């Protein structure tokens, strides 16, 4: 892998990790509010 490719690899990995983190956070909040709504 060239340095440019490695930089691109890391950029993609970082952006994917951010999106996955955001989704997990969203799901945690969603399950919390579903629990309250169903009580």
Partner 1 sequence: MAPDSMAQTVPTQLPAEWRDFFALTKPRVMSLVIFTGLCGLLAAPGSIHPVLGFTAILCIALGAGGAAALNQWWEADIDAGMKRTAARPLPAGRMNRTDARDFGILISAASVMIMGLGVNWLAAAILALSIFYYAVIYTIWLKPRTPQNIVIGGGAGAFPPLIGWVAVTGDITLMPVLLFLIIFMWTPPHFWALALFVKTDYANVGIPMMPVVRGETSTRRQILAYSVLLVPIAAAPWFIGGTAYVYGIASLALTLAFLALSLPVAFRQTGENDTMKPEKRLFAFSIIYLFALFAALVVDRVLANQGWI
- The CB-of-9 to partner 1 minimum distance in angstroms stands at 6
Contact (Cβ atoms closer than 8 angstroms) between residue 9 and residue 1: yes
Contact (Cβ atoms closer than 8 angstroms) between residue 31 and residue 39: no
Q: Which is nearer to partner 1, 13 or 25 (CB)?
A: 13
- The CB-of-30 to partner 1 minimum distance in angstroms stands at 7
List of residues contacting partner 1 (CB under 8 A): 1, 5, 8-9, 12-13, 15-16, 19, 30-31, 33-34, 36-38
């Amino acid at each position: 892998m060239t340095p440019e490719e490695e930089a691109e690899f890391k950029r993609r990995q970082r952006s994917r990790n951010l999106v996955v983190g955001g989704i997990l956070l969203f799901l945690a909040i969603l399950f919390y509010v579903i629990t309250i709504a169903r009580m």
